[in-house]
Amino acid sequence: MNTMNGENEHNEETFYPGPSRSHLAAFPPKERWDDWTELDSQAWPRRKERHYSLVPTTCFNCESACGLLAYIDKVTGEVQKFEGNPEHPGSRGRNCAKGPATLNQIHDPDRILYPLKRSGKRGEGKWEQTTWDSALDDIAARIRKAIVENRRNEIMYHVGRPGEDGFTERILAAWGVDGHNSHTNICSSGSREGYQLWMGLDRPSPDHANAKVILLISAHLESGHYFNPHAQRVIDGKAKGAKLIVFDTRLSHTATHADYWVAPYPGSEGALLLAIANYLIQNSLYNREFVRRWWNWVEFLENSSEFRVSSFEFDHANAEQVSKHRDSDADSQARKGGLAPQRGCPAGDPALPPPTFEQFEDQLKQLYAEYTFEFAAQESGVDARTIEEIAKLIATAGPRFSSHNWRSVSSGVSGGWTVARALFMLNALLGAVATEGGVFPNAWNKFVPKPIYSPPHPQMWNETQWPREYPLSMHEMSFLLPHFLKDGRARLDVYFTRVYNPVWTNPDGFSWIEMLTDPDLVGCYVALTPTWNETSYFADYVLPMGHGSERHDIHSYETHDAQWLGFRQPVKKADRQREGEEIDDTRQVNPGEVWEENEFWMELTWRIDRDGSLGIRQYVESKKYPGTRLSVDEYYEWIFDNSLPGLPDKAASENLTPLEFMRRYGAYEIKNKVGALYEETVPREEMEDINVDARGRVFTRAAKPASPNVVPIPSPNGDDDGRRLVGVQVDGEIKRGFPTPSGRLEFYSSTLAEWGWSEYAIPSYIKSHVHPDNLAADETILISTFRLPVQIHTRSANAKWLDEIAHTNPLWLHTSHAAKLGVRTADLLRVETEIGYFVVRAWVTEGIRPGIVACSHHMGRWKLSEQGQRQLMATVKLDHEGTEWRLKREKGAEPYESSDPDTLRIWWSDVGVHQNMTFPVHPDPISGMHCWHQAVRVTRAKDGDNVGDVFVDTQKSREVYKKWLAMTRPADQYSPDGTRRPYWMLRPLKPAREFYKLPEEKTQQPVGVE
Ligand code: SF4
């Protein structure tokens, strides 16, 4: 390596060492990215040179936003391949299979190239090509009318993978619309809730590379959150000797790399974690100093009388019994503002001695004593000695304990959020919080640069997305939308989906079809998408959007302890700009009339308010050329010039402007090693007329210092005199602390206690909706959410390389289970859910817990006609009689002629089964997360069953919806202060405080509650 490196140094070129770190370079030196030469592999054995421009962008095939480098042929001007971008701090030049497959997506012969307008009935499959002008004018006029008529709550934007940091939220804010709907409650709200209740911020940022012990409750090495950036750091950690523990009911790729793989009964993970916590507590193996300084134990003691860890007995058959908690003494106490104070520990009563840490330690020991290894073994089916071994191993990690849970169980079961809470409790016990090798709050490892305009947040509250039944939900109750509209709670005039396919992705897809085909419920549906998807068939407009190399976005993710910004860009535009061409619209370089969303949103906003009379146009107006629309170049130029510390100087050192620098390298690291911000001493300038309360919270009158980083942070309440919370007093010093109501890590959540859920105010275990107590004798659990490493939701169906590797989703079942059913691999099975069934092939394996079944995500894609991804979508017949819906496969995948000769080589026909349609909605009453695990009956297929068959009765979907809704504790019955939701909690487009107030009248009784 030294020789090679020496040569590079001699040439003043950058050397990127390859994985062997012995000789070969892994990437072309960046100094040669304007003209990189390679031999044409297809011309071999001739030595034909090809010259490339190497232009960075970021992958858009999952949220990680890894860096890509487009190799643009200097002769044809076309992208020849994508490889990793070594200048990207998150991915460091590496990608998973989906990154390079971006090439397939841009050359996909089935992609949508022109704006389309429905010409028949919705869902009939008749389309006519329209112009962008005509579509924009029509949609803009509808939105303007709704705004002028004060029907702002009829405008909704529903996004799956945003892939950007706040651009579209600001567009909605400019319109004054509280209409941001996301997919988060079918994705990660469970984990987010658990993390936010502890540390204020809702995601972990683990430092796997420096950990001594890593505990994962997700399949990080194949599909987890921040998949490639985290996977490579897990492997880095292992290479340095870290031990890897994986909890996964299924033998995932991650599990195959583990030192300890345990396959617990689904939903029992919380019991395992609390047993480990109990071991640390009973044996005093926790970091006493950290717990004493940073847990809100004083607040706990003040509220701890008669307190005990309680289990949520989820009554699957009789939801009303669950609601009995509403009238419990504990709750009526909680509604009054907390549990009864413990004798000797009253809040701020100077007459009594202050609570001591030793008192807390005594209580902690008592509270968790019931979580023995034997209890955990009984719940999980994992051997007690194995749990003990794992606990002992974790105890050795100290502050170098990294852990992560994102989807997996926390998105699978009711009370899944308590798993993330129990997991982070281990970090909080070990003091492995914002340490090298520990876990950081995500926002500390994230940088969202201040944009050119920041419109005020909307002056309204959208009850359709933030209904009062779910005051603590982490995100919008998006997957209940069809039910809310059917309830008559609202109608939509203009509904957008973007990177989102709810008919396929969400549970209860037939209810979505019923909603979208009813013009009384949805006036105009606009699908923004690069490819056909199951939802777009029911749209009024299908508008073609660019892939990762055809659009702009910026983003920053918590991949490790650093802050970086990635820049997604249309690579052909950047290439032609390098050559001196003027390109002011991505449609000039994209295929057909494919556009990018940022330009689309700006143009739409401009047309909504052409004359500026609504006060909207100003947010998309050029500062350089007043009276004209902002361009994306000016938008990003402003951000890179003004909001990225150090970038202008760094760019200048290479004789580049900041925008040129980002176009050339695609990423910028703002800071490496952010460290423990909670320990930062609050500077003197921020202390003005301070007030320190009885719990050590420090409030100031000093304004919050302006920051170029506008990453969303929770906003805990100030004091009664209008000061803001600035920090906490710890051992006489004023520290920055955590963005929680107490300023500390919240072992005790006053939020849960005050909003009617006092029984879960400290980390607890909840017996889930699929706990054995709640299953009938012939039911088992279906795990339906696991991903395959090479596919991503429904977005990668147009990548032929990926489709060839993974194109079907048989039902995993254990050998012993298969023997009982008398089935073998490839036999047909019928899987019955609460509302219907699907028919799937069996895959018999030892790689799953006996008795549990699993079916992967991504597959079972379908189309109603030839429009769609022919490589991975079956052609189906969709039928219904009343509320009974049937989907029947008419044709699987097969070879076909297209502009790509490879489509004639398709050798597979089975594309799997669409299982999500047969799942009813299961909204967790606290986090709002859809609980994906299903109680199912698995039998051999019946006569007449065919692979891919789906049957559902949407009347039954309604019944299940009402049953789960009845478990909620709505704000208008439980709010401690007359508000809809705790103001401090994170929320996209957070309205001003006055809009948090509940209306006087109780406008909406929860359905199903007498
Ligand atoms: S992990 Fe894979 S799919 Fe996700 S951004 Fe990185 S390369 Fe793309």
Task: List pLDDT tens digits, range 752-806.
Answer: 999 999 999 999 999 999 999 999 999 999 999 898 889 888 888 999 999 999 9
Pick from 58, 63, 64, 802 the residue to mutate for probing ligand 1's pocket: most ligand atoms within 8 Å of its CB.
Answer: 64
Report which ligand 1 atom has the smallest distance to the Cα of 62.
Answer: 4
Report which ligand 1 atom has the smallest distance to the Cα of 95.
Answer: 7
Report which ligand 1 atom has the smallest distance to the Cα of 99.
Answer: 7
Is the pTM higher than 0.85? yes
Structure confidence by residue, pLDDT tens digits, 578-633: 999 999 999 999 999 999 999 999 999 999 999 999 999 999 999 999 999 999 99
Give nearest CA residue, ligand 1 atom 1.
Answer: 228
User: What distance in angstroms lies between residue 246's CA and the mean position of ligand 1's atoms?
Assistant: 22
Structure confidence by residue, pLDDT tens digits, 554-592: 999 999 999 999 999 999 999 999 999 999 999 999 999
Task: Return the biggest CA–CA distance within the chain.
Answer: 92
Point out which residues pair with 700 in neighbouring strands: 724
User: What distance in angstroms lies between residue 61's CA and the mean position of ligand 1's atoms?
Assistant: 6
User: What distance in angstroms lies between residue 810's CA and the mean position of ligand 1's atoms?
Assistant: 25
Report which ligand 1 atom has the smallest distance to the Cα of 96.
Answer: 2
Pick from 62, 791, 793, 795 the residue to mutate for probing ligand 1's pocket: most ligand atoms within 8 Å of its CB.
Answer: 62
| Residue 354 to residue 716: CA distance in whole angstroms | 25
Give nearest CA residue, ligand 1 atom 2.
Answer: 96
Q: What is the pLDDT of residue 198?
A: 98
User: What distance in angstroms lies between residue 219's CA and the mean position of ligand 1's atoms?
Assistant: 14
Q: Residue 799, CB half-sphere, CA atoms under 13 Å: how many?
A: 23
Tokens of 79: 């992208």
**Residue 215 near residue 955 (C-beta atoms within 8 A):** no
| Residue 181 to residue 482: CA distance in whole angstroms | 13
Q: What is the pLDDT of residue 9?
A: 78
Q: Pairing relation of β-strands 67-73 and 79-84?
A: antiparallel
| Residue 268 to residue 265: CA distance in whole angstroms | 6
**Residue 530 near residue 591 (C-beta atoms within 8 A):** no
Q: Quick one: which of 864, 829, 866, 861 has its CA closest to 844?
A: 829
Polymer length in residues for the chain = 1010
Secondary structure class of 595 (helix, strand, coil): strand
User: What distance in angstroms lies between residue 266's CA and the mean position of ligand 1's atoms?
Assistant: 28
Secondary structure class of 318 (helix, strand, coil): coil
Report which ligand 1 atom has the smallest distance to the Cα of 84.
Answer: 7
Report which ligand 1 atom has the smallest distance to the Cα of 61.
Answer: 3
| Residue 295 to residue 861: CA distance in whole angstroms | 48
- Percent with pLDDT over 70 in the chain: 93
Q: Which residues line ligand 1 (CB under 6 A)?
A: 59, 61-62, 64-66, 91, 95-96, 98-99, 227-228
Tokens of 501: 């396919």
Structure confidence by residue, pLDDT tens digits, 24-35: 788 999 999 999
| Residue 1005 to residue 1010: CA distance in whole angstroms | 9
Give nearest CA residue, ligand 1 atom 4.
Answer: 62
Q: What is the pLDDT of residue 18?
A: 79
User: What distance in angstroms lies between residue 97's CA and the mean position of ligand 1's atoms?
Assistant: 8
Secondary structure class of 457 (helix, strand, coil): coil
| Phi and psi, residue 492, nearest 5° | -115, 135
Tokens of 108: 């996909």
| Residue 472 to residue 463: CA distance in whole angstroms | 14
Mean pLDDT, each 10-residue run in order, the chain (1010 residues): 71 84 83 96 94 97 94 97 97 95 97 97 95 98 98 96 91 96 94 97 96 90 78 95 96 93 97 98 98 97 69 46 39 36 44 87 97 98 98 98 93 97 98 98 96 95 97 97 98 96 97 98 97 97 97 95 97 96 95 97 98 98 97 98 98 98 98 96 97 96 96 95 97 97 98 96 97 97 92 89 96 98 98 98 97 94 92 96 97 96 97 97 98 98 97 98 98 97 95 93 47
Q: What is the pLDDT of residue 960?
A: 98
Consecutive H or E run containing 963? helix 954-965
User: What distance in angstroms lies between residue 659's CA and the mean position of ligand 1's atoms?
Assistant: 24
